[in-house]
């Protein structure tokens, strides 16, 4: 079902999710804009010790049932979380790669055209003073510091994606090209793991790239949680910002003790 079909025309606001997790829940968390505030460039983000320890504690209460599902690569998430990243299941690059205790690190081969497309994206960024982000399975143009460049960035990225048979992925103040994959399919795949079988997925996300995950969670009997301003969405619940997510995680952990 489309996101628009799941809302009234008035875009009625959504209630916050109950601050608890049961033994039959699996928790899926987007990263940028959900666990951490967005920054002018991806390298400007860091994970606080408090957040890392809280997720570590939740993972201990939910063995095998906590996953981070992000557009970032697994290598980037490892660098941000440090040793604690080994305690979570990770789906990186919009689900193109994943790592779990059962399967280890599963990733696709990189086609030759990906390197060429990445070089072309870098050239666009250098020519038009955009921030260039290289990813394990894609590349992004960020225009947060230069919002007027949005039409140009989208036009150039669209042409590069079409030329090389790659996926175009708009996001918040950025656009990227990447290998195929989406967060919905990532959640569906991860839910087949023994620890998650028979549970319901709860997925927190903020961006339009998270809508596939919201739809997948609902189809599996769970729910999506939109983080940020109200908009058309397939999510069932909403929290206003990253700070509210941190409070919810703390409450869920306290209720689990």
CA dihedral sign of residues 17, 18, 21, 25: negative
| Active site annotation includes 30 | yes
Q: Which of 30, 32, 182, 207 is labelled catalytic?
A: 30
Closest to 95 measured CA to CA, from 26, 4, 191: 191
Active site residues: 30
């Amino acid at each position: 079902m489309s996101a628009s079909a799941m809302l009234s025309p008035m875009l009625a606001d959504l209630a916050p999710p109950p601050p608890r997790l049961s033994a039959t829940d699996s928790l899926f968390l987007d990263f940028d804009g959900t666990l951490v505030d967005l920054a002018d460039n991806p390298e400007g983000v860091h994970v606080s010790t408090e957040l890392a320890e809280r997720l570590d504690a939740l993972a201990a209460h939910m063995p095998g049932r906590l996953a981070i599902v992000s557009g970032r690569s697994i290598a980037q998430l490892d660098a941000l979380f440090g040793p604690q990243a080994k305690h979570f299941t990770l789906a990186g690059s919009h689900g193109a790669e994943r790592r779990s205790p059962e399967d280890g690190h599963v990733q696709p081969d990189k086609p030759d055209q990906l390197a060429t497309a990445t070089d072309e994206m870098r050239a666009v960024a250098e020519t038009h003073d955009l921030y260039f982000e290289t990813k394990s399975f894609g590349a992004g143009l960020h225009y947060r510091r230069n919002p007027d460049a949005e039409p140009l960035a989208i036009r150039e990225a669209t042409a590069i994606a079409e030329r090389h048979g790659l996926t175009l992925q708009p996001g918040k103040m950025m656009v990227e090209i990447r290998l195929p994959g989406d967060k919905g399919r990532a959640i569906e795949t991860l839910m087949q793991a023994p620890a998650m079988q028979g549970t319901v997925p709860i997925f927190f996300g903020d961006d339009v790239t998270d809508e596939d995950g919201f739809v997948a969670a609902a189809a599996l009997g769970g729910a999506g949680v939109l983080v940020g301003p109200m908009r058309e969405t397939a999510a069932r619940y909403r929290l206003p910002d990253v700070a509210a997510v941190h409070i919810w995680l703390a409450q869920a952990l306290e209720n689990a003790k």
